[in-house]
């Protein structure tokens, strides 16, 4: 009997005992291809010797020194590395232990910024439906996934949500992508007007939506308009690149492809690649100046912020990415993945959309392609596909509630950046078998 309070208590999980490169092995000796990097985490694959060596060297020198007493070389070096390659305007890094903490820090930093500059009346966040920003209460509150929020709703801060940029379902048949983006931007502007611009702290968005909607990319021009609107009203733009950032979409930051810079950005998964528990909140000079000229104290903090081993591991992950030119591989293999997905699912009766960027792509499942009607949520098709894929030795990241937190199913793929073409082919082949088998059995 397990004493672990697992994520889900309905069925036992295999025990992972080893992992190497692009595979994970369980206690029965069965090997699984990591087609999703866990949850888009394992960018360098598993057991990277260079990263392990960097962590060991740090551990032997200095494992821990509380950040209320000391800074440390590893966090200073990682901050330098991140700022050097950050979007324009980003000047400082606040280190935490994961994605939710990075978002919590972002929310509090944004609020305190306005207190520092004498606008304490700003108290509202606007985010998007169908987003996920983490499971701690602040991050959960700004997230727009109904299913995740529902039972905790009485505990959540008041947040306002606008429509996601969801081309497949949101754009009208006669509407151009640009006109759709404009319509969504106008919706945000109307929401700001309704709330009173002087009351709004920030607009929050995943640059490419991950877990809740499956690799939703924005239409051209959308984020530029969002940036303009935020600037016009003195509202901050917080981008959540916890999942889609750090190279996953083919550029280090997903927002590079949108031609904009945020005021604050949360990163995590690909930062430490799963070797270490780390996240970070990247902050612009504009915000930093307010803290420097004001209280000189961000009223926040955790015991493990700037942890030396986490920072040393993450620094090596970033160095390996650069040294081995892995972003080029993400771009190249991303194109291969798109091709393979279209070959396998382009005419599939039950795949309505294939989308995403780089090694961050998804398929959306439908009962009927022409009407886009989803499968009955009671079928839990996403869970069945996951089980069928695991049977076939493949890890993928399916999720239900794609459309509105209740209806819709998608499967997210996020293979390690060290993959190759044959592996991408095998991932898509096994996924195809898993999808077909799950649908056949669900009937």
Ligand X SMILES: Cc1ncc(COP(=O)(O)O)c(C=O)c1O
Could you say whether residue 211 binds ligand X (CB under 6 A)? yes
* Alpha carbons 110 and 122: distance in angstroms, whole number: 10
Could you say whether residue 98 binds ligand X (CB under 6 A)? yes
Return the closest-CA partner of residue 208 out of 92, 352, 40: 40
Site for ligand X, residues 316 to 335, rule: CB under 6 A: none
* Alpha carbons 200 and 233: distance in angstroms, whole number: 9
Chain-centroid distance of CA 36 in Å reads 12
Which of 37, 99, 358, 432 is the binder for ligand X (CB under 6 A)?
99
For 165, 178, 219, the CA distances from 185, given in Å and listed in that order, are 10, 11, 11
Could you say whether residue 271 binds ligand X (CB under 6 A)? no
Could you say whether residue 270 binds ligand X (CB under 6 A)? no
* Alpha carbons 238 and 262: distance in angstroms, whole number: 6
Interface map 187-206 toward ligand X (x if CB under 6 A): -------------------x
Interface map 236-265 toward ligand X (x if CB under 6 A): ----x-xx----------------------
Could you say whether residue 356 binds ligand X (CB under 6 A)? no
Shortest distance, position 361 Cβ to ligand X, whole Å = 15
Which of 48, 111, 122, 133 is the binder for ligand X (CB under 6 A)?
133
Shortest distance, position 103 Cβ to ligand X, whole Å = 6
What's the farthest any 2 CA atoms get from each other in the chain? Answer: 64
Shortest distance, position 310 Cβ to ligand X, whole Å = 12
* Binding range to ligand X, per CB under 6 A, among 113-121, 129-137, 150-158, 298-306: 129-137
Rounded to the nearest 10°, the torsion over CA 333, 335, 336, 342 is 140
Shortest distance, position 300 Cβ to ligand X, whole Å = 16
Could you say whether residue 104 binds ligand X (CB under 6 A)? no
* Binding range to ligand X, per CB under 6 A, among 57-65, 92-100, 168-176, 414-422: 92-100
Shortest distance, position 292 Cβ to ligand X, whole Å = 28
Sheet holding 16-20, edge to edge: 16-20, 23-26, 31-34, 394-395
**Whose Cβ is closer to ligand X: residue 241's or residue 263's?**
241
* Alpha carbons 360 and 205: distance in angstroms, whole number: 17
* Alpha carbons 361 and 209: distance in angstroms, whole number: 11
Interface map 368-387 toward ligand X (x if CB under 6 A): --------------------
- Judging by DSSP bridges, how do beta strands 31-34 and 23-26 pair with one another? antiparallel
Could you say whether residue 273 binds ligand X (CB under 6 A)? no
Give the DSSP letter string of 177-244. Answer: HHHHHHHHHHHHHHHHHHH-GGGEEEEEEESSB-TTTSSBPPPTTHHHHHHHHHHHTT-EEEEEETTT
* Burial per residue of 213-232, b for 16 or more beta-carbon CB atoms within 10 angstroms, e otherwise: bbbbbbbebbbebbbebbee
What SS3 class is residue 355?
strand
Shortest distance, position 99 Cβ to ligand X, whole Å = 2
Could you say whether residue 103 binds ligand X (CB under 6 A)? yes
**Whose Cβ is closer to ligand X: residue 271's or residue 366's?**
271
Could you say whether residue 45 binds ligand X (CB under 6 A)? no
Which residues in this chain contact ligand X in the complex, by CB under 6 A? Answer: 39, 98-100, 103, 132-134, 206, 210-211, 240, 242-243, 268
């Amino acid at each position: 009997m397990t004493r672990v309070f697992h994520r889900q208590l309905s069925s036992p999980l295999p025990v992972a005992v080893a992992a190497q490169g692009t595979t994970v092995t369980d206690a029965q000796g069965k090997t699984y291809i990591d087609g999703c990097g866990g949850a888009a985490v394992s960018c360098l694959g598993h057991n990277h010797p260079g990263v392990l060596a960097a962590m060991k060297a740090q551990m032997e020198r200095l494992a821990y020194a509380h950040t209320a007493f000391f800074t440390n070389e590893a966090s200073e070096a990682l901050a330098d590395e991140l700022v050097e390659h950050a979007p324009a305007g980003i000047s400082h890094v606040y280190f935490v232990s994961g994605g939710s903490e990075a978002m919590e820090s972002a929310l509090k930093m944004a609020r305190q910024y306005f207190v520092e500059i004498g606008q304490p009346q700003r108290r509202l966040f606007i985010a998007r439906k169908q987003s996920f920003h983490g499971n701690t209460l602040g991050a959960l509150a700004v997230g727009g996934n109904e299913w995740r929020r529902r039972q905790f709703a009485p505990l959540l801060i008041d947040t306002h949500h606008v429509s996601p940029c969801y081309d497949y379902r949101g754009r009208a048949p006669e509407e151009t992508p640009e006109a759709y983006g404009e319509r969504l931007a106008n919706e945000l502007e109307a929401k700001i007007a309704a709330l009173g611009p002087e009351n709004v702290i920030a607009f929050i968005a995943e640059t490419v939506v991950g877990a809740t909607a499956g690799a939703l990319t924005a239409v051209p021009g959308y984020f530029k308009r969002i940036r303009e609107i935020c600037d016009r009203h003195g509202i901050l733009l917080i981008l959540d690149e916890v999942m889609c950032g750090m190279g996953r979409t083919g550029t280090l930051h997903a927002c590079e492809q949108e031609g904009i810079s945020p005021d604050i950005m949360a990163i995590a998964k690909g930062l430490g690649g799963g070797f270490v528990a780390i996240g970070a909140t990247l902050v612009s000079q504009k915000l930093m100046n307010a803290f420097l000229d004001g209280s000189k104290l961000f009223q926040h903090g955790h015991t493990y912020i700037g942890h030396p081993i986490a920072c040393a591991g993450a620094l090596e992950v970033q160095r390996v990415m650069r040294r081995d030119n892995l972003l080029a591989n993400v771009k190249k293999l991303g194109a291969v993945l798109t091709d393979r997905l279209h070959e396998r699912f382009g005419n599939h009766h039950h795949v309505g959309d294939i989308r995403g960027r780089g090694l961050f792509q998804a398929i959306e499942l439908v009962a009927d392609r022409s009407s886009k009607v989803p499968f009955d949520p009671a079928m839990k098709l996403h869970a069945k596909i996951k089980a069928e894929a695991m049977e076939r030795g493949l890890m993928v990241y399916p999720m239900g509630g794609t459309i509105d937190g209740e209806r819709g199913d998608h499967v997210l793929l996020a293979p390690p950046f060290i993959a190759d073409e044959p592996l991408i082919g095998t991932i898509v082949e096994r996924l195809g078998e898993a999808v077909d088998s799950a649908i056949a059995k669900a009937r």
